[in-house]
Structure 1
Amino acid sequence: MAPSKKASSSLARPSQKSKPQAAPPPNWPAFKPLVPTCDLSLSPVVPSQIVVVRKFWTAALCRDYVAFLKGLPLTTTPGKPKKGEALRVNDRFQVLDEAFANRLWIETGLRELICGRDGEEGEEEDEGEMSKEQRRELWGGDVVGLNPSIRIYRYTQGQFFDCHYDESNVLTLATKPTPTPAKTTWTLLLYLTSPATGCQGGETVFYPDDLPGKKSVVDKEIVVSLETGMLLLHKHGNDCMLHEGREVLSGEKWVIRTDLCVRR
């Protein structure tokens, strides 16, 4: 069960319906150095529900990004959430940036990791590699890119994100030659800090569901500890698991957040 000390708060996460800032996108640093795509792999934590990619980004790249992100105009979330929203205490920056989302999708090898290798139709899969149909089933459709709503989270000592569910959202990706109607199916969190960088606490914890009519996929809490450069992917929308970001005890927890988008 979720911690009782926060049981009074809502289970809904803060809405994304508020418009991201209208300021121009930042001049993001280059993605260097990167881990070779052939060294990346999907590691299931809970089958069809939670997946991690360890060492997706190098420690050096994470360090450079944290230094850059500290210069962004972060906004501290209100101490009292709106009605129907979960309690969250952190500093955040949000921007609509199609170009950055595309860079993160393509330049890092994420597209190949999520969608599989390009090849001729009917080409045999490598042993142990998921088929295209298995990937469609896992991700909830044909993944066409990342949500251009880029969110930067910083949690300092005493900050946390209470128990909540992540919603699915519909959007239209600005693809060429024609826009692509899409919906989000999985949350993507890229951890830039960890105990190795001085951040203690801040684990993402998933709990068994006890909602009427909803069968829980786990019978005990699942704790995902922070690892520098690790991707955490988890299913959201109707199949989202109840989860929270635990309180940071010391140091800073930095996260880049977006979502997988499938064609609709």
Structure 2
Amino acid sequence: MGKQKSQTKAVPAKAAPYVFPPSVWTGKKPRTLGPPTTLLASQILLFDSTLLAEECRALVGLFDSPSAAAGTGSSGSCPTLEPSPAARRGEAQRTNHRFSTTDASFAAALFAHTGLAAALSTHLAPTPDGRRPVGLSANIRIYRYDPGAIFGPHYDDHATDPASGLRTEWTLLVYLTGQQDGVDGGQTVFYEDHARPGPGAGAGSKERGRIVAPLSRGTALLHRHGRSCMLHEALPPTRGTKWVLRSDVVFGR
């Protein structure tokens, strides 16, 4: 009896990461950002108008459309947001929807076109070993917070940029919607003593222990992560939908 021939099973091709269209950007020349608002020195900075209103609308429109909801578009695929999985032990509860892709070209454009490259080289101090801001992580995330959605108290850790292999040091959040769009609530709150004030704390102590970043469309919020990260959380929107773009600042030599 002859030997049976082994059959090689076909391995499904892995879908290519979603790539953001260049059409989301307004203008061709890199912009210049104004000086930041410092919420806490060397910890929390805000850069207003990092993204223009039309850029925010274009990014939200990629996900908030009938084709996105169906997972199809003119190219045969469209980015879709997924509900956050249930928190495992030791993880913060999160009930927002999210999307993640690896797009080095978009990260490079976000860094250079918006003026973040020059601004961060000026306003973010080098690490003790001499590394400086050199780019943004290619791991690009989009978050959607419907009314009542939260991201509970947590810390952000360092990550490795999938494109360069370099380490990240600061979190970057860019608000794609804000108060201008009728969103109430949804602010990012930091706790100075690394503890959320309990229900028995007085109003004064709650305010003293909290740093609240206003939710303003197009504003970039930067805060340190890793061992220097402060406990923080995303409060739930009470009206409207909060959209956020997330990346991280890559440091190198």
Letter in 2 for 1:252: T
Cα shift at 1:210: 4.7
Q: 1:102 aligns with which of 101, 108, 127?
A: 108
Q: Could you tell me how far apart the structure 2 residues matched to 1:139 and 1:48 are?
A: 17
Moved more, 226-235 or 22-31: 22-31
1:1-264 matches, cutoff 5 A: 22-28=15-21, 29-33=23-27, 37-70=31-64, 71=68, 72-78=79-85, 80-116=86-122, 135-137=125-127, 141-171=131-161, 173-174=163-164, 181-210=165-194, 220-263=209-252
The answer to whether the Cα contact below 8 Å between 1:163 and 1:244 also exists between their aligned partners in 2 is: yes
CA distance 1:202–1:261, change in 2 (3 Å): same
Query: Larger radius of gyration, structure 1 or 2?
Result: 2
Percent of paired sites with the same residue = 37
Corresponding residue pairs, total: 215
Which secondary structure state, in structure 2, belongs to the residue aligned with residue 152 of structure 1? strand
1:92 and 1:140 map into 2 onto residues whose CA distance is: 34
Check the 8 A contact 1:140/1:185 in 2, yes or no.
Answer: no
The answer to whether the 8 Å contact 2:30/2:113 transfers is no
Give, as a single letter, the amino acid of the residue that structure 1 aligns with 2:236. E
Q: How far apart, CA to CA, are the structure 2 residues paired with 1:148 and 1:182?
A: 11
Q: Structure 1 161/210 Cα, relative in aligned 2: closer, same or farther at 3 Å?
A: closer
**Residue deviations 1:11-38, cap 9 Å, x none?**
xxxxxxxxxx954323433311589733
Q: In structure 1, how many angstroms separate the alpha carbons of the residues matched to 2:128 and 2:216? A: 24
AA in 1 matched with 2:174: L
Q: 1:139 to 1:187 in 2, by over 3 A?
A: farther
Query: Match of 1:103, as an amino acid?
Result: A
- Please report the RMSD computed on the Cα atoms of aligned residues, expressed in angstroms: 2.6
In the alignment, is the contact (CA less than 8 A) between 1:165 and 1:243 conserved in 2?
yes
DSSP 3-state at the match of 2:125: helix
Give unpaired runs (5+ residues) of structure 1.
1-20, 117-129, 175-180, 212-217
Cα distance in structure 2, aligned partners of 1:102 and 1:54: 19
Give ranges in structure 2 of 5+ residues lacking alignment: 1-13, 69-78, 196-206
1:12 is aligned to none
SS in 2 for 1:163: strand
Shift in alpha-carbon separation, 1:85–1:198, aligned structure 2, 3 A: same
Matched letter for residue 19 of structure 2 = P
SS in 1 for 2:170: strand
Structure 2 Cα separation of the partners of residues 95 and 148 of structure 1:
8
TM-score (norm 1): 0.74
Calculate the TM-score normalised by the size of structure 2: 0.77
Q: Answer whether contact 1:152 1:256 (CA < 8 A) is retained.
A: yes
How far residue 100 of structure 1 moved from its aligned partner, in angstroms, is: 1.0
Relative to structure 1, the CA distance from residue 228 to residue 35 in structure 2 (aligned partners, 3 Å threshold; closer, same or farther) is farther
Please state how far the C-alpha of 1:43 moved relative to its aligned partner. 2.1
Give the SS at the match of 2:32: helix
Q: CA deviation at 1:49?
A: 0.3
The one-letter code of the counterpart of 1:105 is F
